[in-house]
Amino acid sequence: MSEESSPLRVLVVDDEPLARLRLRGLVEANPLPAALVVGEAGDAPQAQALLAHTACDLVLLDIVMPGGSGLKLADAIRRAAVAPGQPQPPMVVFVTAHAEHALRAFEVDAADYITKPVRRERLQAALLRVAQRLAAPVLAEQPAVPVLVVSDRGRVLRVPLTEVVYLKAELKYVTLRTRQAEWLLDEPLADLAQRLGEGFLRVHRNALVARSAVRALERAPAAGAGPGEADDSWVVRLANGEALAVSRRQLPAVREALASG
């Protein structure tokens, strides 16, 4: 917002027309801060098309929609070029009936997370939070450190990816291990692998390791193998001293990754 009196420019994204109508009414009836709905979209592709040429300060965004997840859209908004006349990407406030996605919302830097049905007072608190962040002095830009968000005894913690040693799928959960601690995640390992990118290496169908944490690729004699007996089992030795099995399928890729540094 260029002036303190300028209303918040809001884009409403929800696949339900009645939900969009209710949000529009609540936004434009909000006494402070003043806010104006500058567009509506029923799915992620429509929202991205609008954002390409419509300047806005805030996206009120549903999570579960046909044609694309609101979480993926929020991540794309954070990374995308801004519309003309807009100094920074719009902030995102999730408005959803799915409370179980709250931890992921922190990872895409959402300003707030509102569960349906939306109460007038709760929406006002979110709009105030956005207005305060927009009015805050712009600090020198620092590179964002990617994180995984975990729940720990009622607390929400941000774990920098630079501290992660490995992630291993066990039963219904994924164990996230750093040098100092471990936590359980309920997100599938396949989804985590897509989000973590090239900094992590799949060594087994149930394990991802941080490339920076790998210290060696070693043979692992099978139980009961005698002296001099051939064995083709391998493990990666990690920075925290642990060793994880490498599957035959992943062994060539692990060797290539280690050889390339």
Q: Collect all residues with Cβ–Cβ distance below 8 Å to 126 and sequence separation of at least 6.
A: 93, 111, 112, 114
- Per domain, the residue ranges of the chain are 8-135, 147-259
pLDDT at 27: 93
Fold of domain 8-135: Rossmann fold (3.40.50)
pLDDT at 109: 75
Residue pLDDT tens, the chain, 261 long: 444 458 899 999 999 999 999 999 999 998 888 899 999 999 988 988 898 888 899 999 998 887 768 888 888 887 775 556 566 789 899 888 876 666 676 667 788 888 888 999 889 988 988 887 877 644 444 455 677 877 776 666 778 889 999 999 988 889 999 988 898 887 788 888 888 888 999 999 999 999 999 999 998 866 554 554 445 689 999 999 999 999 999 999 898 888 876
Integer Cα distance of 41 and 20 in angstroms: 9
87 residue type, one letter: P
Exposed/middle/buried for residue 24 (C-beta within 10 Å: 0-12, 13-18, 19+): middle
pLDDT at 17: 93
CATH number for the segment(s) 147-259: 2.40.50.1020
pLDDT at 138: 46
User: Which residues sit opposite 149 in a β-bridge?
Assistant: 158
Contact yes or no for 8/127 (Cβ under 8 A): yes
pLDDT at 77: 82
Q: Do domains 8-135 and 147-259 have the same CATH topology?
A: no
pLDDT at 220: 83
Tell me the pairing of strands 173-178 and 164-170: antiparallel
- H or E element, residue 194: helix 189-196
